[in-house]
Amino acid sequence: MSDVTGTDASVDDPVEAAVEAEPTEEVAPDPHALDAAHEELVARFETELGEAVLDRANVFGMPVLRLRRVDWRAAAEVAKGALECDFLSFVSGIDWMPAPKEGGDDASGDTSSPVQPTETTYGAAGSEGRFQVFARVQSTSRHWGLTFKSDVDDESMLVQSWVPVYPGADWHERECWEMFGFVFDGHPALRHLYLPSEFEGQPAAEGLPAAVARGEAVARTGRRRADAGRGRRRRLHCW
């Protein structure tokens, strides 16, 4: 069948057909996007304590909120009460200072995998300084969870304790005090968890000499204990 121009209308324009045949590029879903439940969770937190949030980020579907120092314990209270987060997964610390090279700056290249950064970089939701405390809470009934972070003052190293809200934070904060030097205000009894009482320094803080980080100081302590006849040497657990 021909149209008024005498061309066959049943034959498509080959250029147009080729364009139509080109597959459309599919946009991959954002792996960090929150589902509806976690969007609701963040909205509820911001309703209760929105002024505390300095920044936020989503990491593989999990919200991360960076909070003001003064609101650290209040965030725990909101999480356990209004957000029904009855389970504390952990409290820990971060030192963003790059690890010093063994042998100094002139030492050979980094053989670790992945290669460690040589300049200070910050993770999700950023930081204003070297140290941060962070914690994760979850709800066993709602099946949702939040990660909180807060900057730690380099001078005072003071952090509000979560033990009055989540009693299980006790040994997490003891470990954090021991490894990073954070002082948890309101903790009932900060004392060593892994290290001998005479150990000096914080193994997880990057400024600690490499020999101490390898456990040689504790090895010397162990030798003294062995000489005193007080049993076998204990290993240092540090990371």
User: What domains can you pick out in the chain, each with its CATH number?
Assistant: 30-97+122-193 (3.30.460.80), 194-239 (no CATH)
pLDDT of 113 reads 64
Task: Give the span between the Cα atoms of 181 and 123, in whole angstroms.
Answer: 21
Task: Give the span between the Cα atoms of 76 and 173, in whole angstroms.
Answer: 14
pLDDT of 218 reads 42
Alpha helices in 60-146 (DSSP H): 72-80
Q: What is the mean pLDDT of each run of 10 residues along the chain (239 residues)?
A: 53 55 75 94 98 97 97 98 98 89 58 71 93 98 97 96 98 96 96 89 70 44 35 28
CB atoms within 10 A of CB 65: 22
Burial of 133 per CB tally in 10 Å (0-12, 13-18, 19+): buried
pLDDT of 217 reads 44
- Give me the sign of the Cα torsion angle 206, 211, 214, 216: negative
User: What three-state secondary structure class fits 82?
Assistant: coil
Separation of CA 132 from chain center? 9
